[in-house]
Amino acid sequence: MQKEIKQTWHFNQSPKEVWEYLTKPELIEQWLMKNDFKPVVGHKFCFTHAGKNKCNYDNTTYCEVLEVKPFTKLSYSWNGSTEDKSRNFNSTVVWTLAPKNNGTELQIQHNGFTVLEDVLNHTTGWDNCLQKFAEHINS
């Protein structure tokens, strides 16, 4: 079973250029979704999806900026629910940028769902994870 959502991508552009696409609302919209993002810790914003998706999630994802380190790291909470509001999910998206081979290595980690994994792993507890999650939120 897959343990986490983690992807690494390489782009030929500089971290500064990639960063713009992660932090400017009009640029984010071009590849992700409509949003009212601002690169300010504590800023609450939404992503709005167009149309339906397979898992029937609600069309709005509620987020709060958790960390902003220009050209290096960006994270926000990623919370939403299903259309019928029967199920909510909380998670955290973390972007990491590093210069590599005259370009940028961009990594995304979408965590918080990993609390689910702990039930299967039996190593660390759910409470540990929630605590970590809370630390992220509070930091």
Partner 1 sequence: MQTQTLDVFQVIADPSRRQMMQMLSKDSMTINSLAENFDMSRPAVSKHIKIMYNAGFISIKDIGRERHCTLKQDGFNELQEFIDYFDKFWASKLKKLETLLNNKSKK
CA distance linking residue 2 with residue 13, whole number of Å: 30
Task: Give yes or no for residue 46 binding partner 1 (CB under 8 A).
Answer: no
> Helices 114-121 and 126-138: crossing angle, nearest 10°?
160
Give least dist CB 11 to partner 1, A: 5
Contacting residue, 42, 55, 135, 138, with partner 1 by CB under 8 A:
55
Task: Give yes or no for residue 50 binding partner 1 (CB under 8 A).
Answer: no
Tell me, rounded to whole angstroms, the distance of Cα 52 from its chain centroid. Answer: 20
CA distance linking residue 134 with residue 89, whole number of Å: 15
Taking contact as CB under 8 A, which single stretch among the options 13-21, 35-43, 67-75, 131-139 is the one that binds partner 1?
13-21
Q: Are 32 and 76 in contact (CB under 8 A)?
A: no
Contacting residue, 51, 101, 120, 135, with partner 1 by CB under 8 A:
120
Measured CA distances, 122 to 89, 115, 129, 136 (Å): 21, 11, 12, 23
Give least dist CB 64 to partner 1, A: 18
Residues that bind partner 1 (CB under 8 A): 1-2, 4-5, 7, 9, 11-13, 17-18, 21, 30-32, 53-55, 86-89, 91, 106, 108, 110, 113, 116, 119-120, 122, 125-127
